Amino acid sequence: MTVPPTDLRAALARAARTTRLLVTSDFDGTLAPLVNNPADARALPGALESLCALALLPDTAAALISGRSLDVLTTLSGAPAGVHLIGSHGAEFDTGFAERIDTGLLESIGTGLRTIADRFPGAMVETKPAGVVLHVRNATAEDGEAALTAARAAAVAWSATMTEGKQILEFAVITTDKGDAIEILRDREKASAVVFFGDDVTDEKAFRRMRDGDVSVKVGTGDTAAEFRVDTPADVAAALAVLTAERGALR
């Protein structure tokens, strides 16, 4: 059985003792292992259950904050109503979009990226309510990099926010990120401490918004602003189980 590192266990135990706790996590690569077909992603057994259990505890809130569209995140995560779901990197809350969507720009970017994807086998385009994503995970390394390079060049003509992730390039027509989403949730829930798990470069904006008393956990390799690091989504499930036990014992 996976056991979190001693320093992380201690930090989670401290967070569990806070007055009002907000526990947040990315989905892909964090709660759910990365897969070649994005539609096949599912949370690991135990991970979502722990998040749901935390959401049911007094003075405790839980949320998934993903680059997925809200509709897709709702379907794939299977999370109940008690867990907040925020899609499109913080653009989509259950109360609506953070900003007005420029549908004309969205359509233009989608057309441009599909033209690029058609040139490189394995590349694909995903259209979201507030952005468009070029995926190259299923392309060869050479074709994938060529597709991303072409998209970066085309982006000069688009008034959109470009974000690079793991073998993806995303263009958002609104300006928000996961860090903004966490701050909105922190304020709404009046949280005295936040725990956030993430694996991608898009999660770094959230890691950089952490405060004293918060716990930030990076999944996998790569430079990070997170305070702690674990190797796999299985480690996230184990950490959430520890946090659930610690918080539950006090509530």
Look at residue 176 and tell me whether its pLDDT is greater than 90.
Answer: no
Considering Cα of 197, then 201, then 205, then 208, what sign does the dihedral take?
A: positive
The pTM of this model reads: 0.76
> What are 127-137's pLDDT values in tens digits?
888 889 999 99
> What are 177-207's pLDDT values in tens digits?
899 899 999 999 999 999 999 999 889 999 9
Q: How far apart are CA 246 and CA 242, in angstroms?
A: 6
Read off the pLDDT band of 100 (50, 70, 90): low
Q: Which residues of 14-33 are buried (b: 16+ CB within 10 A; e: fewer)?
A: ebbebeebbbbbbbbbbbbe
Q: Which pLDDT score is estimated for 174?
A: 76
Read off the pLDDT band of 159 (50, 70, 90): confident
Q: Is 206 exposed, middle or buried (0-12, 13-18, 19+ CB in 10 A)?
A: buried
Q: How far apart are CA 67 and CA 69, in angstroms?
A: 7
Distances from the Cα of 152 to the Cα of 109, 155, 158, 205, 238, angstroms: 12, 5, 10, 21, 38
Average pLDDT, the chain: 92
Domains located in the chain, CATH noted: 103-172 (3.30.70.1020), 182-251 (3.40.50.1000)
